[in-house]
Amino acid sequence: MAGRIPAREQCFALLEKYKVPRVIVEHSLQVTKVAVYLGKKLAAAGEKINLPLLEAAALLHDIDKKICLDDGSKKHAVEAARILEREGFPEIASIVKQHRLSHILEEPFSSWEAKLVYYADKRVRHSSIVSLQERFDYLLGRYGEFKGNIIKAKPKVFALEEEIFSKIDAVKDLRELNEESS
């Protein structure tokens, strides 16, 4: 049974409720732009995509950032899923839980929406759309303590990119989306 999906305005109200910093909201807007763009392309190519669900999950994927920054014992993405479950959005919680980098090493994605939120998040550094290579270079520099998982995940993320782009008519360099308003 499909769960409730919050409208865009409700997503922003939730981000405000959980005191998500503006820079993270800007990041989430770019992730949403990439995810929805690719979701529309996949839908046009015949894939079944729930665009409202995709948009809400992309907007809310980092709802736990302030909480996790304030309390280092909280696990990012897992905490976000808890919040979204508590707010009554289990479908979104499931997708958001799958966006952490290591998920691709652990189990298959549950849906196209989960794949797209995961992939879009890997294409956005801060609030700029970048190549996967640029994003992985940043991750290695910023999160060196997780170097092993980053290196293991990299070829799988590039394979996910191939899977997505093999089904759509679009170029991988999505930077033109940086110029569009959110």
Domains, the chain: 8-179 (1.10.3210)
Q: Return the higher-pLDDT residue of 135 and 176.
A: 135
What DSSP element (H or E) covers 125?
Answer: strand 124-125
What integer pLDDT is reported at residue 176 of this predicted model? 73
Angle (CA) 34 153 95, round 5°: 50
Give pLDDT tens digits for 73-109.
888 999 999 999 999 999 999 999 999 999 999 999 9
Confidence of residue 1 (pLDDT cuts 50, 70, 90): very low
Rounded to an integer, the average pLDDT of 146-155 is 95
**Mean pLDDT score, 53-59:** 98
Please compute the mean of the pLDDT values over residues 9-28 and round it to a whole number: 97
Q: Give the residue, 60 or 171, on which the prediction is more confident.
A: 60
Output the pLDDT for position 5.
96
| Mean residue pLDDT across the chain | 94
